[in-house]
Amino acid sequence: MTRLGPILAALVWTVLTAQAALAADLEPGGKLLLTRGVASVEGTGGGGLATWALITGDETERGVGGEAEATYVALPNYDLSVFGAGVGLFDRFELTYARQSFQTGATGAKLGLGRNFTFDQDIVGAKLRLFGDAVYDQDSWLPQLAAGVQYKSNDRDAVIHAVGGRSAVGVDYYLAATKLFLNESLVLDATLRLTKANQFGLLGFGGDKTSGYSPEFEGSAGYLLTRRLLLGAEYRSKPNNLGFAQEDGAFDAFAAYALNHTLSVTAAYVDLGDIATFRNQRGLFFSIQAGF
């Protein structure tokens, strides 16, 4: 069994537990449209780039829920595809899995890796809501607060060490605060992440410049234009650990639309800055998510 074996087994067990809970007549669904967030590029509930304190799935405190996502990011020199799934228990706990595939296309040959060289990364995440309710605590200024962890494993250990990375495996820790102001149709999020990840972990963890954990910020702001349409923007800072290439923060401007309680789609303009010596990686982000 691989290093991810025990964690994947836990995910399967949790999904089976969720199915059993539904069979026991617990309440499925119940959340307002878009209040589970969308699935991020790392599989967690939130925005496209940022992780929020919201728990994935449409469940309330009396039920279970889940989601599945497919995401594609097209950049001038690279492409990223993500497939993931997650389960939410009683709007309190979230367990997610995502598989990222970072395709270099013709750029792979320019980097000396070979045309269409691909970095694949598995991400298993767990999130616990500590206190607060972003939606229903409208009489309180306190946000919903959640703590989480993400275990990331990259399949290109040799290449990562060759470019100065310390490891192909890493763990991120984060604390997220999210608040929905219904009267103002506004959602805000601020997340503090401790990470060693280079380009979200796609280029490994730690580097020849810096090898320790770095505190990084993720922020999101969204406006509910209608009950089905959310417009917003996000910013995410990242470490700059590798000597061979500058790493910049990431930005997006997005529109998320709920087709119904099950399906939602997200489209965005995304700017990931410089990646592996190739500058100005700006492009389009598209994601579709199904949840219950």
If one counts the domains in the chain, the total is 1
Tokens of 110: 């320019």
User: Which phi-psi region, left, alpha or beta, contains residue 166 (left: φ > 0; alpha: ψ -120 to 50)?
Assistant: alpha
Pairing between β-strand 79-89 and β-strand 64-74 as defined by DSSP bridges:
antiparallel
Handedness of CA 167, 171, 173, 176 (dihedral sign): positive
Distance CA 253, CA 235 (A): 9
The pLDDT value given to residue 231: 95
Local confidence band at 283 (pLDDT 50, 70, 90 cut-offs): very high
Does the pLDDT at position 178 exceed 50? yes
With beta carbons less than 8 A apart as the criterion, state whether 143 and 177 touch: yes
With beta carbons less than 8 A apart as the criterion, state whether 248 and 238 touch: yes
Query: pLDDT digit string (tens) for 221-253?
Result: 999 999 899 999 999 999 999 999 899 999 999
Phi, psi of 200 (to 5 degrees): 65, 10
Local confidence band at 12 (pLDDT 50, 70, 90 cut-offs): low
Distance CA 136, CA 219 (A): 21
With beta carbons less than 8 A apart as the criterion, state whether 96 and 125 touch: yes
For residue 252, the cross-strand partners are 234, 270
Phi, psi of 133 (to 5 degrees): -140, 115
Residue 148: give its domain's CATH number: 2.40.160.40
Query: What's the whole-model pTM score?
Result: 0.88
- CA distances 202 to 11, 22, 53, Å, are 22, 36, 24
Task: Give the residue numbers spanning the domain of 131.
Answer: 5-291
